[in-house]
Amino acid sequence: MSFQEVTLELLHGFGITCLLFVVTWVLSIPLGVLFCSLSLSRLKFIRKIMQVFFWVIRGTPLMLQIIVVFYVPGLLFNIPSTSRMIAVIVALVINYSVYFSEIFRSGYQSINKGQREASLVLGLNKREMFFNVLLIQIIKRVIPPITNETISLVKDTALARVIAINEVIMTAQNIVSTYAIIWVLFYTGVFYLVFNGVLSLLLKGLEKKLQYFEA
């Protein structure tokens, strides 16, 4: 294969990688907020359930979670296997929602309690306090760890090949096995470097715009 043909093949696989990333990121952020609110619930049994759930997700490999989501429903409940793409997205979304939830929780708890008390004294209700006083500060504080998790997510999409999703790494492996040209695997690194570089710049730009909220 020529360099141009290899590039076109990898771009097709990278399109799958980008799709997995975008859908997972868009869904896991709001789900992470929901998990965060549940983990901070006033009801003790809800907090305990979330603690166990977080322990399971954080304590097991993402690769195993993808395999479980794809195969276990059929093995245990005789449910026909779902789409491979959907299975990967579900596993990625659940996994990253847990990590984003912990980031949001730490960001929320890092806000000085005095600000909450002052907001209530000034007559703001809890909704107004959250959206007008706390939200922007929380966003500012969570952007750096979210950037790290976002970059990790881009790389973790490569685990989709475990259930034969033809993302960029699997595409490269297929080319290597067919044409015996090993450099193709190293070439995939360029795609990840460029994509992660763009994402880092975008998130750092957002962080700089919020610098005036620096405590």
Which among 159, 38, 158, 160 is positioned nearest to 98, based on CA atoms? 38
Residue 214, pLDDT score: 55
- Rounded to 10 degrees, what is the CA torsion of 137, 36, 198, 210? 0
Q: What is the rounded CA–CA span in Å between residue 141 and residue 136?
A: 9
pLDDT surpassing 90 at residue 74:
no
- The single-letter code of the amino acid at 82 is T
- pTM of the complete model: 0.90
Residue 123, pLDDT score: 80
Residues 55-66 have pLDDT tens digits of: 999 999 999 999
DSSP 148-177: HHHHHHHHHGGGGGGGT---HHHHHHHHHH
Cβ-contact 23, 89 below 8 angstroms:
yes
pLDDT surpassing 90 at residue 188:
yes
Residue 122, pLDDT score: 80
Domain that holds residue 169: 3-213
Worst-scoring range by mean pLDDT, 44-48, 77-81, 149-153?
Answer: 77-81
Measured at the alpha carbon of residue 103, what is the angle toward residues 208 and 146, in degrees to the nearest 5? 45
CATH number of the domain to which 48 belongs = 1.10.3720.10
Residues 84-122 have pLDDT tens digits of: 999 999 999 999 999 999 999 998 888 887 877 787 778
pLDDT surpassing 80 at residue 126:
no
Which pair of tokens denotes residue 18?
Answer: 């980008």
Number of domains in the chain: 1
